[in-house]
A and B are shown apart, each in its own frame.
Chain A
Amino acid sequence: MKTGSAFFLSGAMALAAVTFAGTANAADTAPNDVAFNEMQVSESLTGMPGDPAAGADAFKNRKLGNCLACHTTTAMESELFHGNVGPDLDGAGSRWTEAQLRAIVVDAKQVFGPDSRMPGFYSLHVGKNVAEKFHGKTILSAQDVENIVAFLVTLKDE
């Protein structure tokens, strides 16, 4: 295990788990080809609906979405350590449409503006000096994004 504060794990395990743009499914939309239309991405990146249970896993996994680093949600109450850099996600599936949620996960800066602190999870618009092992790679695969979107849609208001 890593010590220190690494809040996103980036070891070899992470690499094995991620499907990279380069090796992605041929049917997947490539990161630079994702069509944003009025802060929405209507088309599934894989052409298929996502799996909400797999999405919940990717959401909490520190090597994948690690969304809990910055968000709380009651659906994950049993998990340790929720951050609050971003808003609580309870009701996100009621506040936003599926197409909007996909846009937020793919590249939050397209929705919230360039100052957003939320990383672009399927975007190649990244910061300076990206570590070599992450060059040209996205944090999540198209499949991970679809699964997480399918999970977010389930976060309805009571």
Chain B
Amino acid sequence: MKTRLTIISLAGGIALGCFAGLAHADPVDDTLEIDGQPMITRAPAPEGHPFDEVLSGWLFREAETRAVEADSFQNPGMLEVERAAEIWSTPEGTAGKSCETCHGDVSESMKGVGAHYPKWDKDANRPINIELQIDKCRTEQMGAEPYKFDAKDQKAMTALIKNQSLGEPMSVDLSQGDMQSWWDRGKDTYYTRTGQLNLSCSNCHEDSMGNMIRADHLSQGQVNGFPTYRLKQSALVSLHNRFRGCIRDTRAEFPKAFSDELMALEVYVTWRGTGLSVETPAVRQ
């Protein structure tokens, strides 16, 4: 029997880079299996994509970090997924219902669901992601409060649902509702330079992909591992938190989580990763 390890010391151990960091300037030539299940970490890009091939962020991480992700017994993010499985069956709110009351076994009802979000939501007349779908059920079906952005349970529940799509290739359906115009808007944001440093997402994740920026190996900035488990923070990190962090790093004001601007960005960036397996919870330094 394997036992779980909580590997926090790794994060410190990796800080060796220096000039040696340059040796890792290319994504690794390696394949990822999580508990023996193969993941698609390289996929042919969809038409109209700036790259020929889309690459999972896993290929850009250090060997130790990659190994932790490949073994779900070592992946501390899985503890949060397990915790969320308990929340799944715990009644909350005025209706006295749990997620399980309506959806039954999460591994059956939610299989493959998270790989195809954001989805058009007719009621809201905008795309919603998994976090907002959970809130929708909490408020409309359970009589419970929506989660506060980045509440521990919000990240855990999102990870639980996405984890039911582990290995499934991501795609978004742009033919629903007004999805195409949200994609367009997200694309504009992606190529807009922000902040005092005057940099766009594309300046780092497209033009500089594979380069080192200080200690960080720049990936394509893909979303397929979110929420990710950050060893440095010993916590799950949500996608909108990551978006905001990247924007803040340009010394710009950052939009609110789930704002139209960041939802459009999620639609567009998810499309940029079309065909990559969901790896939630991926492990990052």
Binding site for B on A (CB under 8 A): 3-8, 10, 62, 66, 68-70, 72, 77, 79-85, 117, 119-120, 125-132, 134, 137, 139
Contacts and interface: CB of A to CB of B under 8 A. Distances in A.
Given A84-B25, A134-B251, 4 more contacts: A5-B245, A79-B18, A82-B18, A84-B211
Interface in B181-204: 192-200, 203
A131 B245 contact: no
Interface string B237-253: 00000000110111111
B7 interface: no
Interface in B219-274: 232-233, 245-246, 248-253
25 contacts: A4-B233, A5-B216, A5-B245, A66-B214, A68-B214, A70-B213, A79-B18, A81-B18, A81-B212, A81-B215, A83-B212, A84-B25, A84-B212, A85-B212, A125-B198, A128-B194, A129-B194, A130-B196, A130-B251, A130-B252, A131-B196, A131-B253, A132-B253, A134-B195, A139-B196
Contacts of B195: 126-131, 134
Contact of A119 (B192, B198, B232): B198
B248 A131 contact: yes
B22 interface: yes
B21 interface: yes
Given A68-B214, A82-B18, A7 B249 contact: yes
Interface residues of B, number: 36
B197 A6 contact: no
Contacts of A132: 253
A81 B20 CA distance: 9
A85 B211 contact: yes
Contact of B215 (A70, A80, A120, A137): A80
B176 interface: no
B196 A69 contact: no
B53 interface: no
